[in-house]
Amino acid sequence: MIPADPAFETPLTRTFDLRLPLVAGGLMWLSDADYVAAGARAGVLSFLTAASFPEPAALRAQIRRCRDLAGGHAFGVNVSMLPKLVPGEKTADVFRLIADEGVTVVETSGRNPEEYLPVLKDAGITVIHKVPSLRFAQKAQAIGVDMVAIVGAECGGHPGMDLVGTMVNVGLAERRLTIPFLLGGGIGAGSQIVAALAGGAAGVVIGTRLLGADEIAAHDDYKAALVAAGERDTALTMGSVRNTIRTLKNQTTAIVTALEAETPDIGIEALLPHVAGTIGRRAYETGDTSHGMLSAGQALGLLERTAPLADIIAQLEQEALAALARLRPQARISRQEAAQ
Ligand SMILES: Cc1cc2nc3c(=O)[nH]c(=O)nc-3n(C[C@H](O)[C@H](O)[C@H](O)COP(=O)(O)O)c2cc1C
């Protein structure tokens, strides 16, 4: 695939033959074969989410369907290793299945993937490890992952405990990393992609901005709620159990916020009846967003309408090209000034 502009050519686009240096991150319950294949066809790297398909046969079927639909373009599988999502002993089996099926890239997250790296490397699989802050990115670099993705405090899902913003990560990553890195958290406009590239990133990872894609198999009312929501409509909860999560503000986040304020050492057992993943899954099916932990980040402010995924990607590309055009005359002027 030809990159939309030479400025967009990076180790990420070269490795996976992409049009834009953009990763559509794994989305629990939502990034299925149809969504991921649509991303692949649009020229970005997208990830199925293994934890959404706990039955091996279902994950295998998704991978095969995705391959059929992806038109020969690359796609990957996200393996979130949060203990609650994929019990430890099953994680190795998931990686073996992925390798068996000939998948070429995984997005790992949740905890250190070191023990699985030999299996993945033997299978020739590229490992992009996603972390919530620079210190974990440095650790991932030290254990030998191929690329890291650093998601800032603005992100939908799990921003970790440090809560450093993406703009700070832009500046830090280039100083501290030697392997290719991606930046994410709050990215939903093409200009932000250019900012990340200017900071030395090989690309960006996006979740929230893409939730309005037609290919996301969720109820229209859920998507309408996201379109109506803005950048101030997320809540950060679960810090008391060191599993901070940014989700759409709703009755559940109000209850959890109150419970955590009343009893700071409340513990996960008391929170589970409110935060269990099955409640969120139901909201995707019914469109009733009043309950459930519905991961969404501050980029909700940039999600203004639903559209086919290819159109969202095309819009991001146009915005990125416009941002580059804004910079280039300035670059020319400053070169002329320097020469004088
Ligand atoms: C609805 C939703 C579900 C997500 N599920 C997962 C997941 O299962 N595993 C994972 O590693 N990241 C998950 N993420 C994080 C995204 O892959 C991505 O890193 C993040 O959304 C980037 O930040 P942004 O939301 O500001 O674009 C999820 C994000 C959202 C919004």
Q: What pLDDT does residue 2 have?
A: 87
CA distance 181 to 203: 7
Phi and psi at residue 79, to the nearest 5°? -120, 100
Q: What pLDDT does residue 180 have?
A: 98
Which domains can be identified in the chain, with CATH numbers?
A: 6-206+307-339 (3.20.20.70), 229-298 (no CATH)
Stated as kind and residue range, the H or E segment containing 128 is: strand 126-131
Closest by Cα among 215, 187, 191, 158 to 303? 187
Give, to the nearest 10 degrees, the angle between helix 268-275 and helix 277-286: 10
CA distance 53 to 313: 26
Cα of 335 from ligand 1 centre, angstroms: 40
For residue 30 and ligand 1, the question of a CB distance below 6 A is answered with: yes
Cα of 232 from ligand 1 centre, angstroms: 18
Better-scored residue on pLDDT, 2 or 23: 23
Stated as kind and residue range, the H or E segment containing 196 is: helix 190-198
Report which DSSP code applies to 162.
T
Mean pLDDT of 60-74: 98
Tens-place pLDDT, residues 28-53: 999 999 999 999 999 999 999 999 99
For residue 155 and ligand 1, the question of a CB distance below 6 A is answered with: yes
- Taken in order 204, 16, 66, 80, the sign of the CA dihedral is negative
Query: Which residue has the CA at smallest separation from atom 8 of ligand 1?
Result: 28
Mutate to test the pocket of ligand 1, among 208, 250, 279 (most ligand atoms within 8 A of CB): 208
Stated as kind and residue range, the H or E segment containing 232 is: none
pLDDT class for 120, splitting at 50, 70, 90? Answer: very high
In sequence order, which residues have a C-beta less than 8 Å from that of residue 144 and are 6 or more positions away?
Answer: 117, 121
Are 129 and 91 in contact by the 8 Å Cβ rule? The answer is: no
- Taken in order 51, 37, 208, 113, the sign of the CA dihedral is positive
Mean pLDDT over the full length of the chain:
95
pLDDT class for 329, splitting at 50, 70, 90? Answer: confident
Cα of 257 from ligand 1 centre, angstroms: 21
Tens-place pLDDT, residues 138-172: 999 999 999 999 999 999 999 999 999 999 999 99
CA distance 115 to 82: 15
Cα of 142 from ligand 1 centre, angstroms: 24
CA distance 16 to 307: 25
Enter the pTM of the model: 0.96
For residue 156 and ligand 1, the question of a CB distance below 6 A is answered with: yes
Are 62 and 33 in contact by the 8 Å Cβ rule? The answer is: yes
Mean pLDDT of 253-280: 96
Measured from the Cα of 107, ligand 1's closest atom is 11
Cα of 303 from ligand 1 centre, angstroms: 15
- List, in sequence order, the alpha helices (H) in 72-165: 88-100, 117-122, 134-143
Report which DSSP code applies to 321.
H
Q: What pLDDT does residue 85 have?
A: 41
Q: What pLDDT does residue 213 have?
A: 98
For 161, other C-beta atoms within 10 Å of its C-beta total: 11
Cα of 272 from ligand 1 centre, angstroms: 20
